[in-house]
Amino acid sequence: LVGTCCNKRTIRGGFPSAEAVAMADTLPRVPCNITRQEFYEQYEVPRKPVMLTGCADDWPARMEWTYDKLANRFSNSTFWRARLGNGAEDY
């Protein structure tokens, strides 16, 4: 069955293992609290790729955007609502 779409060799051969990805992933991780100046000097000017981490840790949406709240707000209706103020009544 070599050459068919669904044999083990084809399925496993298409994706690298977690170990292979970890070995190839050399992108530096930098905490999101880096200053603009540090980021500019260390990464933007030399055009060095970097992954910022922890940027969403204090983002209110992580607690606000629950499945129940989003499902209620964005059901199958075509009517969209957007918050225009800071209170729950400001839709």
pLDDT tens digits, 27-69: 999 999 999 999 999 999 999 999 999 999 988 988 888 888 8
Q: Identify the band that residue 78 occupies on the pLDDT scale cut at 50, 70 and 90.
A: low
Exposure string for 11-48, b = 16+ CB within 10 A, e = fewer: eeeeeeeeeeeeeeeeeeebeeeeeeeeeeeebeeeee
Looking at the chain, list the stretches that DSSP marks H as alpha helix, in order from N- to C-terminal side: 8-13, 18-24, 36-39, 61-64, 67-73
Cβ 46 vs Cβ 67: under 8 Å = no
How big is the CA angle at 60 (ends 59 and 65), to the nearest 5 degrees? 115
